[in-house]
A and B are shown apart, each in its own frame.
Chain A
Amino acid sequence: MKKILTGLLVLGMVFVFAIAIAAQGQLTGAGATFPYPIYSKWFDVYSKMKNVQINYQSVGSGAGIRQVTAGTVDFGASDGPMTDEQIATFEKGRGTAIYHFPTVLGAVVPTYNIPGVNASLKFTQKAIADIYLGKITKWNDGEISKANPGVNLPGDDIVVVHRSDGSGTTYIFTDFLSKVSEEWKSKVGKNTSVNWPVGLGGKGNEGVSGLVQQTPDAIGYVELIYALQTKQPFGDVQNSSGAFVRASLETTTAAAAAAAKDMPADFRVSITNPSGKTAYPICSFTWLLIPGKIADAGKRETLKGFLRWMLAEGQKDTEALYYAPLPKQVVEQELKAISKIQ
C-alpha cells in the first residue's frame, strides 16, 4: 500500500518535471485589460512565427505600470498614459527611460436599459455629465428628451452604473467628463478610480453590462466591443462640433486622426472630445510601455521586431475584433521611435 502511494508520487513528479522543456527565455508583459483579446491574438501569432514566447497577462493598467517599474515583467501596457510622477519613479528606479507605443484605439459608449424604449438615444454632453453627477435623475428630463424628440421616455428614476474596479475605461470616461463639465472636473476629476457622486459599481466591463442588462432604467458605460458583443443598445454622444455621433470603427479612427496631427513625441495624448465633425468624443489609444534600455539582446530584438510587425501586419487584425487601427501618421511616427530602444 505504501508502495502504491510512493509509486504514484514518483510518477506524479516525473510527469510534472517531464514538462520541463527547455524553453527559450520567455518575455512577460502585464497591464491593460481592454486590449487583451487583440494582444493575446498578436502575441500568439508572433510567438509561433518567430518561435519565441511572449506571455501577456491583463492584470490592469495600474498593475502593469507598477510591475514594469519594479522590473518583474519585461514590458507593460496601459489604457491611460503614465503620469509624470510615474515616469520619474520609473527612471529613478530602473535608470532608463520608458517609452509609450500606441497599439490600437478603443471607444467607450453609454449603454442603457429602458423598458419600452428600443430606439438609439442621443445624449448631449451636458446630459451625460449631469446624469453621472446625479443632477439629472429621471429619464424624461428635459436635457435628454430635447435631444430625442419622438421617443417616449418614462418618468422613472435613472439607475446609474459605473465601474467599481479601477480601469482604463473609467479613466477615458472621466477624462471626457472633465473636459465637458467644469463641475465634474472640480468635484470629481479623472482617474482610473474616482469618488462617484451616484451609482452602483459593477466589476469589469462585464459587471457593468450585466448590471445594466438586468436592471430596468439603468445606464452604464462600457467599451464599444462589449456593447457590440452583448448586443446591448447604446446611445450616440454629442461631440465638440455639436453633432451626435455613434461609436464605430470609423468614428473612432476619425477621433484619432484629428489628434494625430499634434501627436507629441512621447505619444502621451488624450483624444477625448477632439475636434472633427465625424469624430466620436469618447475614445482613447492604449499603449505598450517599453523600457528604453533592455539588457538582454534576445528580448530586445524580439520586442522591437514585435513592434514593427504590430504596426504593419498586426494592424490588419484589429477590425475583426472591433478595435480601430492606428492612423497612418501615428504608425509612421512610431516606426521611427522604435530605434530609441536600446
Chain B
Amino acid sequence: MSGWAGSGHGRYRKVVSYLMLGGTALCALLVVGVLFFILGSLVWKGGSDINLNFFTKLPTPVGVTGGGMANAIVGSMKLLLLASLIGVPFGVVGGIYMAEFGGKVSAFVLQYTADLLNGVPSIVIGIFAYSLIVLRMKHFSAIAGGFALGIMMIPVTLRSTEQFLRSVPVAMREAAMALGASKWKTIVSVVVPAAYRGILTAILLSLARVAGETAPLLFTAFNNRFWSPGWNQPIASLPVVVYTYGISAYEDWHRQAWAAGLVLLGMVLLTNIIARAILSRGISAPR
C-alpha cells in the first residue's frame, strides 16, 4: 500500500477509489430508488382507499362501499405481539449463549440450525404449526398464528444477536472483568448495551419480515371477517387480506389490497420509530 498520491500509480489508485466509491453510491441510489418506487406504487394504487372507515370498520362484501379493515389491523398487531413474545426472548437470550458461553462446536451447530430453520419455506412452518396446534385444538386461532410467526423470528434474532455481541471488542469485556464484574454482569451491563443497536436492528428486521408473511397464517390464524375476541379464535391479518383481495377479480378489492399493504408498511414504520426512540440511549457503535 505504498506509493505517493501524486505519482502515476497513486493517481490511478485514486481514480479507482473514486470510481468504486461512486459505484457504492449508485448501489445505494438504486436500492433506495426501488424502495421509493414500491412505496409510490402502494400509495398510488391504494392511497385513495385510506380513510377513517378503513381503520374503524369491518370488511364489507364486494361492491359495497364504506368497509374497512379494522379487524385485520388489530389482528396483525396481536399476531406480531405474540410472535415477538416468542421470537425475541428465545432469539436474544439464545444469541447471548452462543456468543458468550458456548464453545466452538455448540456455536457451529446452533448457527447451522438457525440458518436451516431460516430457509424453511414459510408455508412449511405454517404446516408445522397447523399439525402441532390447530389439529390438537381442533380450530384455528391467533395463538397458532403467533406461534408460526414467532418460530420464523427466532433464527434471525438469534444469529444477529450473536453476530453483534461477538463484534463487541474483547477489550471492553476484559476491562469490565478487571474491575471485578462477574461474567453475567459483564454481559448485561457492558456487552449487550454496546451491541444493543445491532440487536435492536435484528429484532426490528425480523419483525418486519414476519409482518408481511401470508403463507404461515393461512392454516393457523386462518382469517376472520369479524372481530376476533381473545387469542383463541381465527383472526384476520393484513397480509392475508392483501393476498385474498389481491387475487380476486374486483377492482375495488384490488385497491383495498394495495391500501392494506400500505397500512402494513406504515405500522412497521411506526413500530421502528417508536422502538428506536424509546430505546435510543446507550452507547452506539464507534464510528
Q: Write the nearest CB–CB distance from B228 to chain A, whole angstroms.
A: 8
Bound together, the chains give a CA A229 to CA B225 distance in angstroms of 24
| Interface segment out of the listed B15-23, B97-105, B243-251 | B243-251
**Contacting pair A5 B229 (CB below 8 A):** no
A37 & B61 in contact (Cβ 8 Å cutoff) = yes
Partner of B223, one of A20, A57, A70, A206: A57
Verify if B181 is at the interface (C-beta below 8 Å from A): no
- Stretch binding the partner chain, chosen from A39-47, A134-142, A172-180: A39-47
Chain B nearest CB, measured from A239 CB (Å)? 25
Tell me the bound Cα distance from A321 to B248 in angstroms. 13
- CA–CA, A33 and B245, complex, Å: 11
Give B135's nearest chain A residue, CB to CB: A70
Chain A contacts for B278, CB-based, 8 A = 1, 4-5
B218 at the interface (CB under 8 A from A): yes
Residues of A within 8 A of B63 (CB): 41, 320-321
Q: Which residues of chain A from 205 to 232 have any CB-CB distance to chain B below 8 Å in the complex? A: 205-207, 223, 225-226, 229-230
Size of the A side of the interface (Cβ < 8 Å), in residues, is 46
A195 to chain B, nearest CB (A): 22
The answer to whether B226 touches A26 (Cβ under 8 A) is: yes
Contact with A along B210-248 (1 / 0, CB 8 A): 000000001100111111111001100000000010111
In whole angstroms, what is the CA distance A103 to B20 when docked? 65
Cβ-based interface call for B197 (8 A): no
- Nearest A-chain residue to B78, judged by Cβ: A16
The residues of A that contact B251 with a CB separation of less than 8 Å are: 229
A240 within 8 A of B: no
A275 within 8 A of B: no
Q: Is the CB of A37 within 8 A of B250?
A: yes
Q: Is A30's CB under 8 angstroms from B222's CB?
A: yes
Query: A19 to chain B: which residues have CB within 8 Å?
Result: 74, 227-229
What 0/1 pattern do residues 1 to 40 of A give for CB contact below 8 A with B? 1001100000010001101111100101010010011001
Chain B residues within 8 Å of A1, by CB: 278, 281
Q: Is A203 an interface residue (CB 8 A)?
A: yes
The answer to whether A57 touches B222, judged by C-beta atoms less than 8 angstroms apart, is yes
A110 CA / B159 CA spacing, docked (Å): 50
A20 and B81 CA atoms in complex are apart in Å by 16
A56 vs B234: C-alpha distance when bound (angstroms): 11
Interface flag for B77 (CB, 8 Å): yes
Q: Is the CB of A23 within 8 A of B248?
A: no
User: Is A125 among interface residues, defined by CB-CB distance under 8 A?
Assistant: no
- Cβ–Cβ contact A55 & B249, under 8 A: no
B119 to chain A, nearest CB (A): 22
Which residues in chain A, 65-80, are within 8 Å of chain B measured between CB atoms? 70-73
* B244 closest partner in A (C-beta): A58
CB distance from A327 to the nearest CB of B (A): 25
Is A276 part of the contact surface with B, judged by Cβ < 8 Å? Answer: no
Among A22, A59, A63, A206, point to the contact of B248 (Cβ < 8 A): A206
Taking CB atoms, residues of chain B closer than 8 Å to A203 are 247
The answer to the question of B48 belonging to the interface, with a C-beta cut-off of 8 Å to chain A, is: no
> With A and B bound together, what is the CA distance between A225 and B250 in angstroms?
9
Q: Which residues of A contact B222 (CB under 8 A)?
A: 28, 30, 55, 57, 59
Interface pair A72/B226, CB less than 8 Å apart: no
B138 at the interface (CB under 8 A from A): yes
CA distance A28 to B232 in the complex (A): 13
Q: Would you list which residues of chain B between 72 and 114 have a CB under 8 Å from chain A? A: 74, 77-78, 81
A204 contacts chain B at the CB level, 8 A cutoff: yes
Chain A residues whose C-beta falls within 8 Å of the C-beta of B223 in the assembled complex: 55, 57
**B61 and A41 within 8 A (CB):** yes
Taking the complex as formed, is B134 at the interface, i.e. its CB lies under 8 A from any CB of chain A?
A: yes
- B229/A207 in contact, CB under 8 A: no
Q: Quick one: closest B residue to A66, CB to CB?
A: B219
Chain A residues with CB under 8 A of B61: 37, 40-41, 44-45
**Closest 6 interchain pairs by CB?**
A41-B61, A204-B247, A20-B229, A229-B249, A206-B247, A226-B249
The 25 listed contacts between A and B (C-beta, < 8 Å) are A1-B278, A12-B81, A21-B229, A23-B227, A23-B233, A26-B226, A28-B140, A36-B244, A37-B249, A40-B61, A41-B63, A45-B61, A47-B226, A53-B225, A53-B226, A55-B223, A55-B234, A57-B244, A59-B222, A70-B138, A204-B247, A206-B247, A226-B249, A229-B250, A321-B63
User: What would 12 more interface pairs be, CB under 8 Å, given A17-B230, A26-B226, A321-B63?
Assistant: A23-B229, A28-B234, A33-B247, A36-B244, A40-B62, A40-B225, A41-B62, A41-B64, A53-B226, A57-B223, A70-B135, A223-B249
Residues of A within 8 A of B (CB): 1, 4-5, 12, 16-17, 19-23, 26, 28, 30, 33, 36-37, 40-41, 43-45, 47, 53, 55-59, 63, 70-73, 203-207, 223, 225-226, 229-230, 320-321
